[in-house]
Amino acid sequence: MAFDGLFTRAMANEIHTLVSGRITKIHQPNALEVVLHIRAGGSNKKLLFSIHPSYARVHFTEQSIENPAEPPMFCMLLRKHIEGGFIHAVQHDGSERILQLVIESKNEIGDPITRKLVIEIMGRHSNLLLLDAGNDKIIDSLKHLPPSLNSYRTVLPGQIYMAPPAQHKVNPYEVADQDIQAFFAEDKEPKDVVTHFAAFSPMQAAELLHRIKSQDVVTAFRQFTTEVASAAHPTYLESNGKIYYSPAHLTHLEGHVTNYPNLSELLDRVFFARAERDRVKQQAGDLERWLINEINKLKLKLKKLQKDFDRAANLDQFQLYGELLMANLYNFEKGVDFVDVANYYSETGEMVRIPVSPRKTPVENAQSYYTKYNKAKNALIMVQEQLDKTVNDIAYFEMLMQQVEQAAPADIEEIREELAEQGYLRLRASKKKKKPTKPTPEEFTSSTGIKISVGKNNKQNDFLTFKIAKRNEIWLHTKDIPGSHVVIHTTEPDEATLMEAAMLSAYFSKARESSSVPVDYTEIRHVKKPSGAKPGFVIYFEQRTLYVTPDEAKILSFKK
């Protein structure tokens, strides 16, 4: 899959509806993304620009992205130059992965100015630049490219903008019919198409070659490029564990196909969950590393405690030696290294060799074994307590790890707060004092219209189970697997809702990638929190078990 030149052309046509629209707000959620809020055609739209090395793209989005408390410098610059401005044109040369928005605005003293917002969608070389349209000078960009890194062009404020080097390929929308016929006169491979024609990715080249086999070459070529440019059939296809997306049907691939009404909804489906996960990694990278480190330390501690437990478990032998020595005090004298005595506890009465200290009397040797027995007995109790605590701590941190891996950016702060409340972490100092807010579990709606709530972290889990849910509503959780608390907000759910809630429970658990995941369900009144239990830990009874396989496409359809 690729956001190639053909896709860029189709997207340029889709966002052309923004012409004459007014930029009302500008946000920069992170170092790689910018969102323009635009009022156009009587409706509000959000246009997302991303220069992520793997997910570079531009499209409308309906998703909400959390913004930082302090806007970055590039965001402030965009607000200064283009906020309140009107989009005059959307420009695309027809083949490259470069889009330009020409924006007419006003400066601080009210004089008209024209700016260009340019996105270059080129993998790890992607960039977003603001230009002065009068002279094409770079005002600023998300990425700077000094001469030391690139001898062809410099991307720095004040420099004249130079487009990436041209590839000198044939524009598929300008090529003559006879040239198409001549090129395909011999059998071609996808790489031949990619090398000869601009804008094609290997996937789109493979699709074109597949169509040419059953049609006239020129007709197939024209129909395919027209279908792509008009985004006639935005397609999401899963085949052999891989995901493909295209503005046109992918007839050369077999798999599960989902069609979307437009390219933006398609890209939200393809990228949003991945991009969200990447935002979480940026925001919670240190938290993830800390949890991994703590889990590794606890697992090492567990091994040591298990060894101590095994050693302390010899207490029965210490007691036996002490009693046998007391029964044979007159059969050995001080100065020997060991003594052989009959084990009268054994049915056969076999001989047992007991190590003794030559410096101690028989009574002192017997008493030393009793002392070892008492120490081992006390140690066994303490080690068992430590073992139980360590096992519980590992389970707790692994549960938090699962929550971080599946969290939205807004959930991370609640996980930090929980760790601070438990005494594990110190919260970062913040310039602004945050008002305390109630945890907000995520809400879904079943196919039959029943509300389902999902806790994404322990604060949300406890709040959902013990504050929001009613005692006869249905509670679900993966069986013996770390995961979210799920509540169906009805006392008698239909079978479809129950299965969909179980699927949500499996999806928001450590078993997300598994099949036939066991999910327990019971009424809220049968769910209890033990005294002193950590956040998120509960016990429950009167449960039944369902087996489900998580399906991400279905999960997204449940979202409110």
Residue 274 identity (one-letter amino acid): R
Q: Can you give the pLDDT at residue 270?
A: 85
Tell me the pTM: 0.64
Under 8 Å between Cβ of 406 and 508:
yes
d(CA 315, CA 369): 9
Per DSSP, the three-state class of 113 is: strand
d(CA 329, CA 351): 16
Q: Can you give the pLDDT at residue 473?
A: 96
Q: Can you give the pLDDT at residue 532?
A: 85
Beginning with the edge strand found earlier in the chain, give each strand of the sheet holding 517-523 in spatial order: 442-445, 451-454, 486-488, 474-478, 517-523, 544-548
Per DSSP, the three-state class of 402 is: helix
Q: Can you give the pLDDT at residue 277?
A: 67
Distance of CA 86 to the CA centre of its chain: 36
Phi and psi, residue 533, nearest 5° = -70, 150
Fold classified for 283-425: Helix Hairpins (1.10.287)
Per DSSP, the three-state class of 98 is: strand
Q: Can you give the pLDDT at residue 373?
A: 84
Q: Can you give the pLDDT at residue 425?
A: 80
CATH class of 5-141: mainly beta
Under 8 Å between Cβ of 516 and 487:
no
Q: Can you give the pLDDT at residue 333?
A: 82
Q: Fill in the DSSP letter of residue 174.
A: T
Q: Can you give the pLDDT at residue 239?
A: 86
Q: Can you give the pLDDT at residue 115?
A: 97
Contacts of 40 (CB under 8 A, 6+ apart): 17, 18, 19, 20, 21, 22, 87
Contacts of 500 (CB under 8 A, 6+ apart): 446, 447, 452, 554, 558
Q: Which residues of the chain have pLDDT under 50?
A: none
Q: Can you give the pLDDT at residue 433?
A: 54
Under 8 Å between Cβ of 85 and 103:
yes
Under 8 Å between Cβ of 85 and 101:
no
Domain boundaries, the chain: 5-141, 177-261, 283-425, 442-558
Q: Can you give the pLDDT at residue 383?
A: 85
